[in-house]
Structure 1
Amino acid sequence: MTSADDSAGLTSYYEQKIEHLELTCTPNTRVALRNDSYVLHKILPTKVDPLVSLMKVEKVPDSTYDMIGGLDKQIREIKEVIELPIKHPELFDALGVAQPKGVLLYGPPGTGKTLLARAVAHHTDCTFIRVSGAELVQKYIGEGSRMVRELFVMAREASPSIIFMDEIDSIGSSRMEGGGGDSEVQRTMLELLNQLDGFEPAQNIKVIMATNRIDILDAALLRPGRIDRKIEFPNPTEGSRIDIMRIHSRKMNLLRGINLKVIAEKMPTSSGAECKAVCTEAGMFALRERRIHVTQEDFEMAVSKVMKKDSEQNMSINKLWK
């Protein structure tokens, strides 16, 4: 076989490889070239910033709806917006209704926003990507925007996926008319708006945002089509507090006759997280006395300790504002 035949055979081989790559390549695909002929050699994996990769939770969260007390309405709403479109998209197609893209969870700290986001990821068996808004506030120009882009690239590759953005007010606060504020933070928010507009609900990517300050969020972030539903998480009622403490004390060795209703009445302004803290503190009081059971008195002392700590924090905050 002559050298011309060898060259022709090599050219034919590379043409076949190129045709195959053209079928599998998409815009922004990273490829490797051969040094001798600059012919496409292979497709490289997508480059993702290591900081973005750390946001991906490899294991499905173990939180379930049974672990959440007093949030029946909120659970029903998030099921409609997140769980139903992922599990049964054909229902939306049959009705001709567009699938929701995202939901905003807002309310005071400790009311169960993060816990519910983890629970819905567990029940949908989705890749859970958690990111704090503060992590997207970067020092150098363009870094925050790039991280947002790579975050959504990773979500597309790992779909079905849920992106949980906590403390969204860090990058989503209202823009001033005079153009004041941190321009880099605004660029990051504009990139987030662009990404929310750029993906289709059928891609099985859902966005859950959480904040304690809905009053300072930009109106462009909250409009329908980006955030399709807003779910409020108020402080629990007395009945909800009883449910929460019953959930967190069901594995504890409680002395017969403990009345959780009396405990709940002594915590009128407490959050769900504080109800859980009371159960933990009650167990610690029993542990200090080397007992294997928890008494009503342990719970009452735990309420005094947790609520006193909470009132001291509120007093210090009030002093700062004066």
Structure 2
Amino acid sequence: MSVPGDPLAEARELAEARGRAVELAERRLANARADARSLAQANEKLNATLREARGSLVGLREQLEALSNPPQAHGMVVGVPGEGLADVSVGGRVLRVAVVPEVSGDGLQPGAPVLLNEAMMLVGLAPEAAQLDVVLVKDVLADGRLLVSGGGDDEHLLTAAPEASSAQPGQSVAADRRAGIALWVVERTEVNDLLLDEVPDVDYADIGGLGGQIEQIRDAVELPFLHRDLYARYQLPAPKGVLLYGPPGCGKTMIAKAVANSLAEQVGGGVGSHFLNIKGPELLNKYVGETERQIRVIFATAREHAADGRPVIVFFDEMDSLFRTRGSGVSSDMESTVVPQLLSEIDGVEGLSNVIIIGATNREDLIDPAILRPGRLDVKIKLDRPDAASAAEILGKYLTAEVPLRTPGDPDPGRHSEPDLRHPGERSLGGPGEADPGEPDLRHPGERRDLTPTQYRRQLIEATVEALYATTDENRFLEVTYASGDREVLYVKDFVSGAMLANIVGRAKKSAIKEVLAGGPDGVRLEHLLGACADEVAENEDLPNTTNPDDWARISGRKGERITFMRTLRGARQVNP
């Protein structure tokens, strides 16, 4: 306890009081800082909550504005009369509306889809319409408008948008018929795929064994184009069509291609004709009237190409698949409308100037007689199976001078067998188990001079023909029984075709290539050709249809007396009497 009046004690007490005051102030400052931190954290949370609330309010306001916006109408521009104006078709009505500056320009063309607000102002471009009509162009008027048919007897006049300005009669266009505008050309691939609008690279020189038939078709097809003045002087009309018929693989399609190529070379210097290759079975369609429509499109295309005087070949392959005899009951009733459509195109009101129809078939007996009468398919040319001389000519087209040949005098260390001194006419295909005599010497026993490659090639061909056309027991193929009870044995030669001969040469070349790859000698030998003949015949020995022998015989070119029974004489299916 301090003594009253003692200055030191009073100073001490004063210092202690000030210390306690400073300590209290520091505690209060620390508490204030803690409170400030708490308030700052609370304030930050409040700010975050306010920001979230503001974002939610903005989103709700946008949704509210979107819900409160009036609907916009879809329309299609049909014309642009002036700057800032557009004629728009909306729901079948045509309105002249103002255009906001943001969408004016090149985008506003006839056929452009647009949006209109509640005040009927054009405010933007719209996406393409989800559904449009597909109509067929029947004619193009002088002012550029299109006369179209939309099914049945309905016809409409449409304004062509820029994308549809190139539409031609017979083409399909997408259109908005309520707006009266055609938008663009619709490419019908199912029709375009049927048309081969180019000249094939096949020449008459590529075809062997058909000299007489080639002369016939050249007289019928080429002369009217190459000598128009003479035909006019004699008042002789050009044939409208040619029918090529015969067994499969005998050159019908090749002749049709060669005709187109020859016309192109002689009329217009290589670009003077068109070849429309119609794949007959692909024209068939399950929808009523669709096949007929495609036939109309094909002939419209032919007339378009022929308008400038150049010949157009319309080639119907497998003609019997489309134009069968009406009322025969062989197929459905489809031919009752398809055949008249073809007849009306051939000789109807619209002419077929400069258009030649070539039909090819294996079953000419199934084609409607109205198509085959004179004045339609005027010329009928039969392409039969090649005889021995024709077969040699065909083989020469494939076994050319450029093909490597191995002559008998060439060294061959891998062969030691004795040469076959038989004359080529004494050979046949041989039967199973017959020994291979080795590489034959193609020279006659009385000839002992060396063969040139040309002579060897010719004798190779002769030996191959002899092997195929020999009427030996080894070459017996079928025995047929006719309705009269007579029997006949058919040999391999009765089923030879140009395609078969080409395949034989191809097999022989492949055998020669495999021999070279195995380290053997180079060149095609007679052994390769005879082996190819045997393989080709063996591959086809199971093909005769013994269940329906008469139908098979007609397709194969046997058009005589009806065949009631047939048995094979070769291979695993050989039937013993």
TM-score interval (norm. to shorter): 0.7 to 0.9
Corresponding residue for residue 45 of structure 1: 168
Q: Indicate whether 1:221 and 2:371 are aligned.
A: yes
**What amino acid is aligned across from residue 318 of structure 2 in structure 1?**
E
Contact 1:142–1:184 at 8 Å: present in 2 too? no
Select between 46-55 and 209-218 the one with higher mean Cα deviation: 46-55
Match runs of 1:103-122 below 5 Å: 103-122=242-261
Q: Distance in 2 between matches of 1:120 and 1:31?
A: 41
Aligned mate of 1:62, from 201, 211, 216: 201
CA deviation vs aligned residue, 1:269-289 (integer Å, no higher than 9, x gap)? 300110111110000111111
Q: Distance in 1 between matches of 2:330 and 2:316?
A: 24
Contact 2:313–2:355 at 8 Å: present in 1 too? yes
Q: Indicate whether 1:98 and 2:237 are aligned.
A: yes
Find the residue that maps to 1:234 and give its secondary structure.
Answer: coil
Corresponding residue for residue 232 of structure 1: 382
Aligned mate of 2:510, from 258, 265, 284: 284
Q: CA deviation at 1:94?
A: 1.3
Contact 1:106–1:213 at 8 Å: present in 2 too? yes
Contact 1:132–1:168 at 8 Å: present in 2 too? no
Q: Indicate whether 1:175 and 2:326 are aligned.
A: yes
Q: Indicate whether 1:262 and 2:463 are aligned.
A: yes
TM-score normalised according to structure 1 size:
0.84
Name the CA shift for 1:223/1:280 in 2 (closer, same or farther; >3 Å): same
Corresponding residue for residue 38 of structure 1: none
Match runs of 1:147-166 below 5 Å: 147-159=294-306, 160-166=311-317
**What amino acid is aligned across from residue 169 of structure 1 in structure 2?**
D
Q: CA deviation at 1:309?
A: 1.5
Corresponding residue for residue 41 of structure 2: none
Corresponding residue for residue 88 of structure 1: 227
**What amino acid is aligned across from residue 542 of structure 2 in structure 1?**
E
Query: Which structure shows the higher helix fraction?
Result: 1
Q: Distance in 2 between matches of 1:116 and 1:34?
A: 43
Contact 1:104–1:210 at 8 Å: present in 2 too? yes
Q: Which protein, 1 or 2, shows the higher relative CO under an 8 Å CA cutoff with sep ≥ 6?
A: 1
Q: CA deviation at 1:23?
A: 8.9
Q: CA deviation at 1:80?
A: 1.3
CA deviation vs aligned residue, 1:287-310 (integer Å, no higher than 9, x gap)? 111253111110000000112212
Q: Distance in 2 between matches of 1:90 and 1:310?
A: 51
**What amino acid is aligned across from residue 322 of structure 2 in structure 1?**
I
**What amino acid is aligned across from residue 499 of structure 2 in structure 1?**
A
Q: Matched residues, percent identical?
A: 32
Name the CA shift for 1:168/1:107 in 2 (closer, same or farther; >3 Å): same
Name the CA shift for 1:21/1:133 in 2 (closer, same or farther; >3 Å): closer
Contact 1:105–1:233 at 8 Å: present in 2 too? yes
Q: Distance in 2 between matches of 1:122 and 1:53?
A: 21
Contact 2:146–2:157 at 8 Å: present in 1 too? no
Corresponding residue for residue 281 of structure 2: 134
Q: What is the RMSD computed on CA atoms of the aligned residues?
A: 2.7
Q: CA deviation at 1:26?
A: 10
Structure index of larger Rg: 2
Q: CA deviation at 1:86?
A: 2.5
Q: CA deviation at 1:218?
A: 1.3
Q: Distance in 1 between matches of 2:358 and 2:226?
A: 17
Q: Indicate whether 1:298 and 2:528 are aligned.
A: yes
Gaps in structure 2 of 5+ consecutive residues: 1-81, 83-139, 150-155, 173-187, 265-272, 408-455, 469-492, 550-564, 566-577
CA deviation vs aligned residue, 1:146-183 (integer Å, no higher than 9, x gap)? 01000001111122210100111112221227x78422
**What amino acid is aligned across from residue 172 of structure 1 in structure 2?**
F
Find the residue that maps to 1:312 and give its secondary structure.
Answer: coil
Contact 1:286–1:298 at 8 Å: present in 2 too? yes
Query: Which structure shows the higher strand fraction?
Result: 2
Contact 1:248–1:276 at 8 Å: present in 2 too? yes
Contact 2:256–2:358 at 8 Å: present in 1 too? yes
Q: CA deviation at 1:319?
A: 4.3
TM-score normalised according to structure 2 size:
0.48
Q: Distance in 1 between matches of 2:249 and 2:378?
A: 24
Q: Distance in 1 between matches of 2:319 and 2:285?
A: 15
Corresponding residue for residue 318 of structure 1: 546
Q: Indicate whether 1:184 and 2:385 are aligned.
A: no
Name the CA shift for 1:104/1:27 in 2 (closer, same or farther; >3 Å): farther
Contact 2:314–2:356 at 8 Å: present in 1 too? yes
Name the CA shift for 1:90/1:54 in 2 (closer, same or farther; >3 Å): farther
Contact 1:136–1:188 at 8 Å: present in 2 too? no
Contact 2:194–2:282 at 8 Å: present in 1 too? no
Contact 2:464–2:530 at 8 Å: present in 1 too? yes
Q: Distance in 2 between matches of 1:89 and 1:31?
A: 40
Gaps in structure 1 of 5+ consecutive residues: 1-5, 7-19, 36-40
CA deviation vs aligned residue, 1:55-82 (integer Å, no higher than 9, x gap)? 2224321100000011011101111111
**What amino acid is aligned across from residue 168 of structure 2 in structure 1?**
P
Contact 2:247–2:362 at 8 Å: present in 1 too? yes
